Amino acid sequence: MRGNFQISRIEFLITKKWGKRGGGGGEGCCPLNKDNNEPGDSTLIYRPEPGRKRLGGSECTAEREGRKAMANKLISEMGLPRSIANDALSLTEFELMELLDVNLKEVISAVAHISEIACPPYQTALSLLEQRIQVEYLAGHLPTRLEGLDAALCGGIPFGVLTELVGPAGIGKTQFCLKLSLLASLPSSYGGLNGRVIYIDVESKFSSRRMIEIGVNSFPEVFYMEGMVQEMAGRILVLRPASLSEFTESLQQIKVSILQNQVKLLVVDGMSALVTGEFEQGPSRQHPFAWHISFIKSLAEFSRIPVVMTNQVRSRSSDEASRYSFQVQSKGDNIEEITRSDSHLVAALGIHWAHAVTVRLVLEARSGHRFIKVAKSPISPPLAFPFDVTSSGIILLNNDGIEMAGPQINTIHHQGSS
C-alpha cells in the first residue's frame, strides 16, 4: 500500500504553471499509480512548460521552498489528476538533473523507481491460462452431467454465449437438448438451475413422454416424489413456429419472458430446417437470417443464460470451402472415393453462423460408435468423447477425451442411419 507514501523532492517539480492552476494540475502533470486501491496512491513527475528556463535568484529559491512544502503532502491531498506518467521516462538523465537540481545517482534511482511503477508486469502463458479458466468458471455454466465433457468446457454449457450442436439427423441432438432442459429445471438442491426453459421446437421433435422417461431414469429421487413430474414438465415452455415470420415474432417476445419467468435455458432445436425451407441456398439465403443470428447472440449476452441451438447438415456445393465439412460414410465405403465424388456435407447455416457460435459440439457416428467432439471452444482443445443414447439420455462411454488434429476436428462421419 502506498497510501502513506509522501512525495520526495526528486519525484515532484513545482512550476509557475502549477501555482496558477491553484493545485489543479496542468500540462505535463502525470501521476503514477502503483496500485489502484486508493485514489492518492501515486508518484508524480511534473514537467515544466516547453521552453521554460530555470530561473535564478529569489524565484528559484521560492520554487525550492515550494517543492519542500509539497514533498510533505500526500498525493491524495493535492487533488491531482490520475493519468499515466511519461515525462520522466521521455527526458534524458541530464535533462532531469538540470530540472530537478539533483545528482546523477539520484536521477537514476528515481527513474528506476518510476519505471517499476509505470511498466506493467510480465505474465506467463500459464498465468494467462489460469485467469481465463477462472473467468470461465465464474461466468456460470449448466453442467451436462457428462463428466469428461464438463471438464473440457470448465463446468458445462457456458452462460451468455451460443452453444451449437451440429450433426446429421438421428445422431442424438434432440436427446441432448431434452437432458439439458431437465437439468436447467431441476431444483438447485439436486444440482439444477431451478428455473424455466424456453424450448423452440422447429421440427416438432420435442417429446414430453421421452423427456419424462429421461428424468425418471436419470433422477429417480426427484421424479418419484409426488407431483414432481407435473411440476418439472410445467417448467418447460414449448414454442412451435410454423414459419420464419412466426419464429421472428417468437424471438421478439421471449426477450421479456426470459426475465419475467425466471428462464434459465433457451433451446432452439432445428432452426436450420425452418430457414432452408423458405430460402434457396446461396448468398440470398443468408441475408434475411443475419438478423436472427445477431438477435439470438445479443439475447444470450443480455440474459446471461445458456443458449443451445441445433444445426443440421446439407450437401456442399462445388464452390464452397470445406472448413466446416462433414463426410458421409456407409459401411464398405472408401473415404477417398467419397471425397472425389463430392459427397461432403456442411453445416446448414453456413460460415456466418459458424462465426457467431462460441462453442461448437459436433456429433458423429463412425466405426459403430457415436462421438461428441469439441470442435470449437475458447478454452478447450479439440477432443472427442464416445457416447451412447440410453433410457436416461446421452451418456459418455469414456470420460477421457481423444485428442484431435487437422481435418479430424471439423470432419464428421455418419455411418448409415443412426
| pLDDT tens profile 255-301 | 888 888 889 999 999 888 776 544 444 544 455 678 888 899 999 98
Give the closest residue to 82 by CA, choosing from 30, 45, 6, 37.
30
Burial of 194 per CB tally in 10 Å (0-12, 13-18, 19+): middle
Structure confidence at residue 392 (pLDDT): 94
Summarize the confidence of residues 69-79 as an average pLDDT: 47
Structure confidence at residue 69 (pLDDT): 53
Count of H helices and E strands in the chain? 16, 18
Q: Over 80: is that where the pLDDT of 162 sits? A: yes
With cut-offs at 50, 70 and 90, classify the pLDDT of residue 91.
confident
Q: Over 80: is that where the pLDDT of 349 sits? A: no
Summarize the confidence of residues 225-246 as an average pLDDT: 91
Domain definitions of the chain by residue range: 9-118, 135-415
Q: Which fold has domain 135-415?
A: Rossmann fold (3.40.50)
Contact 418/365 with Cβ under 8 angstroms? yes
Contact 159/227 with Cβ under 8 angstroms? no
Cell of 333: 465405403
Structure confidence at residue 293 (pLDDT): 87
pTM for this structure?
A: 0.64
Cell of 133: 479458466
Q: Over 60: is that where the pLDDT of 72 sits? A: no
| Residue 324: strand, helix, or coil | coil
Structure confidence at residue 344 (pLDDT): 57
Structure confidence at residue 114 (pLDDT): 75
How far, in Å, CA of 145 to CA of 219, rounded? 11
Between residues 102 and 342, the one the model is more confident about: 102
Beta bridge partner(s), residue 348: none
